[in-house]
Structure 1
Amino acid sequence: FLEDGRAFALADFDHDGRLEVFLKNRNGPQLRLLQNVMKDLAPSIAFRLRGGKSNRDAIGAAITVETGLGRQTRMLQAGSGFLSQHSKEVFFGLGEATGPVRASIRWPSGLVQELHDLPLNHRVWVEEGTAPSRFEAFKANPQGLKPSSFGARGGTAEAVPLPKTSLRDSDPLPANVETWLLVPVAAPDFSLPVLNGHARTLAALRGKVVLLNFWVADSTICQQDLKVFNRLHARWATQGLRLLTVNLDDPADAEKVRTLARDGHLSFPVVQGSDDLAGTYNILYRYLFDRHRDLSLPTSFLISGGGEIVKIYQGSVNPDQVEQDFRHIPQTAAERLAKALPFPGVSDTLEFRRNYLNYGSIYFQRGYLDQAEASFRLALHDDPASAEALYGLGSVYLKQEKSSEARESFERATRLQASYPDTLANAWNNLGLLATREGRTAEAIPYFQEALNLNPDHLIALENLGNAYRQQKNWDEARKLLERAVAVGPQDAEANYSLGMVFAQLNENDRAYEYLQRALKARPGYPEALNNLGVLYLRTRRRDDAVASFEECIRVAPAFDQSYMNLARVYALEGTPDKARIVLLELLKQHPGHVQAQTALQQLQ
């Protein structure tokens, strides 16, 4: 709301068991009532208490409600809102509970009162020390409220009769919504086949205004839009608007989509969507607005010649509106402000921006690396001194195994001032990781140390530095670092595994067992830990445990080759080459060109 809100209070105004919100504003309207009209809420129960020996309002009483699903406790409090007071009724949501409710009340006087067989969806009146005096069922059909001039000048406003229809029926959400963006957002590019098999890219239309439409075959609204597009797309093209539609049906239904296109004589390009494209645009859509929602279909995006989304159409497309919009795309911030906001205004200090750093992070977490890279580049363009944008770019390149680009990005990030505490530590750690991958362990160690100078409890840097010392066979330093790592992250599988391997090298078998078992407890399907635990069992002459560990590793990680090789060696040393051969053949099913397995098979013949 636009008003300057100062206080709010919660109360069940219409006695339907649902709390309403009362908003008190400094300016008008000074009081706003938000009615709760949510459908299909779970059952609930409410209590009204009156003290006898305790204070009359029972402030400080604690009510505990028990159902078959569990127990919950609430206290009756005063002064629960700024310059306001919530209703002194105490409400409990009961989830999926179906049977009667039990309750106990601890009154401020110390008296504990037990109540049994309380009905669901009722308001219960209780006076201290006596049985409930009244039960009132919640109203089944809450009525909507008409606007009223509460607090109007000249005394109390007239009572407004409740209408006969619920707000749920009279005020449905609009099916079609059009939104101009205050700040355009770059449209993610894609390269996908159209129904005739030729690839189509969004970038190929750069320089032209594009209406990008997402649809599914079973939607009546989508089918109506396709008919409109078929009638108008040629005219739009001559006027400068290109149409590109994307079908997001399951690929298994591709033939149904082709049939629809053939029977409808669709003459405009229909792109066969993919999970990645749907995921990319869903993320884009979710984070365009404060109310994060998944992309609904149909939805269309108006894209400027510069490749930026300037307007979004949710629901059916109004072709007349589209024609007007693409001819009058705003070019300046003032023009965008005038179109995007429902009222004129003046703003000398407020600047609207798109958070591409946030987009890049979300795309990266979801595995959409190309879009993450594009977003981090845009974030860096907006703020060339952003260490976070450079770190994000480096992380993308690291995933893409572009080592030189990743190194350059991380090095540039370390020379900047970071906005988040671990950005620089992470960048130094990743520089060390790159050096380790390339076999330059001695060069990696100072990078990890720089990360730990910035954050002594940086778990990954502790693990990486400890493992670097392991590679150098500097067991004492490795043990110290990895013990610190385990202290920081006691449930971290990697830290426990690495420390267990150090103790195995030091022939401290009991401690090696302990930490390998901890690693497996943290990650039960950890193949390296299972395999090396089997090796440790062999070293301590526990043959059956070793075989069981190798077999478990093969079961949970059939692509991990070392357990096959170790199990085959056990059978070969025991003089059972047939068993060894079976194990090696199973390995070759997973890795047909495995040289060691082929060599071992030849040696068994």
Structure 2
Amino acid sequence: MSQSPLEALAAGSATVDATPGGATLDAASAYRSAWSALNKLLRRGYSWSGREQNCAFLNLAGRGFANVSAASGFDFPDDARGTVLVDWDSDGDQDVFLTNRTGPRLRFLRNDQDTGNASVTLELRGTRVNRDAIGARVELSLIDERKEVQLLLRGVRAGEGYLAQSSTRLTFGLGAPGRKIAGVRVTWPGGEAEDFGGVEPGKAWRLVQGSGRAEPLELTRAKSFAASKPVAPPVTLGARLALVRPVPMPRLDVVAENGSSLPLFGLQAGGAGTGTGKSVLLELFSTSCAPCVRELDEHARHATEFERAGLAPLALSVEPFEQRARAAAFLSERGWPFPWATATPPALELLDALAAILRDSERRLPLPASFLIDAQGALRVIYLGPVSAEQLLRDRALCDLGDGAQFDAASPFTGRWMFPGLPSDADFFEPRLEARGLAGPASEFARGRMTVLRSTPADLLHEFGRERAVAGRLDEAQKFFQRALAADPRHFATLSDWAIVLHRQERLASAAELYGKALALDPEHADTRFNLALALLGLGNRAGAESQLHWLKARGAESVAVLEQALRDFGAAK
């Protein structure tokens, strides 16, 4: 479209009738509503372009167009977006880069047609307009043996198509050899026209504004790419989603075989998960699911390896609890050596929602589906479809990784990450779970915003005293500092701050004593040594102050110059 509805709204456009019932929406609301509907379809697995193959059409010079999609090699079944034309290998013809919404995200199509036709490449350089001459138009006149003239037109554009920009160098196809270039006229941005001579076919030329004469342009050959044969990805029943960081699991209610409720996991205030002390694999199954049979049979055979690796599978039946006898018999036939339970409907909705949110998809969970959760109660990997025991044993190591290592391990290839920071779990999951009607799990993630204070009584009393000292209520501050030291005589912050209060009250001997006690706890604290030096200087103890100065100098402290000046002033006063 040439104008966004949002721009139209700003310009005062009319409203539109965009709802089934005939209700009226303003242009911006209708625009957002349409995008929301499109995105919902994409999340349900629909293709933006309807799974159509790419098309290429050949211009028949006034006689229409011919579909050459297959003959040219363009007919990939990609969900393609942008097309960029560039003479990548500097051989006089146009190569193509294609960008896709689906993989591969980028395709390079090298033009290797051996037509024998001639071409010429022009690069414009502005001197009184923009350097790349964006907006300029070039008219190239061709003359053949019969003195007939053909006019070819090209424009220099900064963008074309969808989110794409082709090369600003202009490549003109001249047809069969023998034609000559009679002239080149450039209409620069702003309307100034200029003719250029000396342009010959089969070469590249630079046209500098104001020069009137073409300069030879040496083209460097870009990096060559090895040809690859398009291979369709293998059809698989499974998918593995390793998370870029651990996600704490909300509370999951399941029903044990004996009918008792079995709550699992849950978020604590501050956002931490609640683990079981072991890595857990939740395996969703149904007695009528053939892939579930094969997966559970395989996992049962590797029970010893799972136990040795510290991995505890828990089979979760998706069938109603009233059918637990059938589930028990089914697992007994498999020789299932691990615990099992029945997933409640809310538990299934939660697992389905987590998988959908993390995949940005509206598709429901397949069977089997599994969730690998670490000992701290954080989700690490989701498996859609069958997962082998070998893969599980490899992924068990992910449960022990920190956030940074997990991030790298989740990527299928190495590289350097460049993107804004990820949102917090609370900011990401809470609104998405609420939109699905899962208020309980949403509120659990909201608790992640709560700051858990793990303060000792001395910490709290010191903070109260510090607040009063900053407010100038020094006597009240000292009472809280005294109580803090009674609770913890080795509380460094209280010793240091109380010393500063005494220093401000010019009770220098008491201040120096507390500074010394603080330094006994943290001898490397430069600010406290500086304050002690000033207190000693005030008491007339120059040697003690110089001793602190030597220590500060040896460590390159910023306060050295100030203390040296204080010592000079002290000497002058004497």
Q: Using structure 1 for the length normalisation, give the TM-score.
A: 0.37
Q: Which has the higher helix share?
A: 1
Larger Rg: 2
Greater relative contact order structure (CA < 8 Å, 6+ sep)? 2
